[in-house]
């Protein structure tokens, strides 16, 4: 499917939002990047990850403690992805480009290709959110049906029950299969990858080998296969589930839309900003812990509208966005609690499995 175009409007809501957000930063004198506040969080997460890894591999704690550490390592992996890699990949971690590149490279160490993620996430998902056939994030076929335009199979009647297990293996699928599929086909779905340079190819393979060395070869040598496989599965299952559920709660819930381009013009109904608001949802924005842990991705609306602004500013700018939406009669989807969003996601999957 060819990437669709967005509608042109006489008065752009995106321009209205940008002007108000720019005014906020001018008045407060704040920088749009994460600054020291995000850097200190990043150091805490990275040092925690290193401590857990070293303790597990080289000091071999008791089984209960080791399993606890594996769970924490999985959670820490997700947190690094949300807070460091994600902001770095969007160029909002720091005002220095080289710092953003280092932050983004954490994805590589954790097993995922940043080059491919950038194409899949920044270029495609952020532009064509919830557009079936373009947005790879809603393509879980044939296991899950995430849009009414996707083919429905009998097993989808139960997808609201088995998705819990499926999400647990996202991290494994990502680092062991998905990246390679996109690398060798040269596509993300039907969208061609940007041409890779020698440096891109080298980076892809170097960090894949580094990841396998750190998380497969060294642990097996030090601990033995049986202990490694139990710990590795525990670690990746936690990381996979947390990564999956956070991203899905932001887009595949009952109140978000899945726009379909006009067949003749291949044009979507709304301008880009309105499209983002219709296809995106916030959740649990009053929870300080959730906001801290998921790197502000519970403020997904603000992130999609302003991806180059660090997540540490989302609580403040969300008030501006919400006010503008009220003034212009634009939808603003928000679930007050985490369990509300989870329940809506389950209901959505149930609907997609039966309708």
DSSP readout, 2-34? PPPBPPP-SS-HHHHHHHHHHHHHHHH---SS-
Residues 6 or more apart whose CB falls under 8 angstroms from that of 67 comprise 230, 231, 234
Q: What is the predicted pLDDT for the residue at 10?
A: 73
Query: Measured in whole angstroms, how far is the alpha carbon of residue 36 from the centre of its chain?
Result: 23
Q: What is the predicted pLDDT for the residue at 274?
A: 96
Is it the case that residue 50 has pLDDT exceeding 70? Answer: yes
Let me know the angle formed at the C-alpha of 288 by 283 and 291, rounded to the nearest 5 degrees: 50
pLDDT tier at 1 (50, 70, 90 boundaries)?
low
Q: What is the predicted pLDDT for the residue at 138?
A: 94
Is it the case that residue 345 has pLDDT exceeding 80? Answer: yes
Owner of token pair 């899945």:
258
**Residues of the chain with pLDDT > 90: what percent?**
93
On average, the pLDDT of the chain sits at 95
User: Where are the domains positioned within the chain?
Assistant: 13-354
- CA–CA separation, 102 vs 56, rounded Å? 25
Q: What is the predicted pLDDT for the residue at 263?
A: 87
Q: For the segment 186-243, what is each residue's pLDDT rounded down to a tens digit? A: 999 888 999 999 999 999 999 999 999 999 999 999 999 999 999 999 999 999 999 9
Q: For the segment 239-283, what is each residue's pLDDT rounded down to a tens digit? A: 999 999 999 999 999 999 999 998 889 899 999 999 999 999 999
Q: For the segment 298-325, what is each residue's pLDDT rounded down to a tens digit? A: 999 999 999 999 999 999 999 999 999 9
Q: Which long-range contacts (CB under 8 A, 24 or more apart) does 218-224 make?
A: 218/57, 219/56, 219/57, 222/57, 222/58, 222/60, 223/57, 223/60
Q: What is the predicted pLDDT for the residue at 13?
A: 93
Peptide bond into 142 cis (omega under 30): yes
pLDDT tier at 16 (50, 70, 90 boundaries)?
very high
Is it the case that residue 154 has pLDDT exceeding 70? Answer: yes
* Cβ–Cβ < 8 Å for 52, 73: yes
The predicted model scores a pTM of 0.94
Is it the case that residue 37 has pLDDT exceeding 90? Answer: yes
Is it the case that residue 158 has pLDDT exceeding 80? Answer: yes
């Amino acid at each position: 499917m060819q990437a669709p175009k967005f509608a042109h409007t006489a008065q752009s809501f995106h321009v209205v939002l940008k002007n108000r957000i720019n005014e906020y930063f001018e008045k407060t004198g704040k920088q749009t990047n994460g600054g020291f506040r995000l850097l200190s969080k990043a150091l805490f997460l990275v040092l925690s990850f290193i401590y857990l890894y070293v303790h597990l591999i080289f000091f071999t704690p008791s089984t209960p403690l080791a399993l606890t550490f594996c769970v924490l390592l999985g959670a820490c992996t997700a947190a690094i992805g949300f807070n460091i890699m994600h902001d770095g990949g969007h160029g909002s971690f720091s005002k220095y480009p080289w710092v953003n590149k280092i932050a983004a490279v954490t994805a590589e160490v954790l097993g995922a290709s940043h080059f491919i993620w950038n194409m899949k996430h920044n270029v495609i998902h952020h532009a064509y959110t919830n557009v079936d056939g373009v947005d790879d994030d809603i393509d879980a076929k044939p296991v899950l049906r995430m849009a009414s335009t996707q083919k429905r199979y009998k097993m989808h009647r139960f997808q609201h029950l088995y998705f819990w297990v499926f999400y647990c293996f996202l991290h494994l699928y990502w680092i062991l299969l998905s990246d390679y599929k996109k690398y060798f086909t040269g596509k993300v779905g039907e969208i061609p990858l940007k041409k890779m340079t020698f440096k891109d190819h080298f980076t892809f393979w170097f960090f894949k080998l580094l990841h396998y060395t750190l998380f497969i070869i060294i642990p097996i040598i030090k601990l033995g296969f049986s202990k490694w496989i139990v710990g590795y599965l525990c670690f990746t299952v936690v990381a996979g589930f947390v990564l999956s559920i956070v991203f899905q709660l932001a887009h595949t819930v009952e109140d978000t839309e899945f726009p379909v381009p006009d067949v003749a013009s291949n044009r979507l109904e709304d301008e880009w900003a309105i499209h983002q608001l219709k296809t995106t949802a916030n959740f649990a924005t009053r929870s300080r812990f959730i906001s801290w842990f998921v790197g502000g991705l519970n403020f997904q609306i603000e992130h999609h509208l302003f991806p180059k602004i660090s997540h540490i500013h989302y609580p403040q700018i969300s008030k501006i966005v919400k006010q503008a939406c009220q003034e212009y009669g634009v939808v603003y989807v928000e679930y007050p609690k985490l369990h509300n969003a989870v329940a809506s996601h389950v209901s959505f999957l149930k609907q997609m499995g039966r309708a």
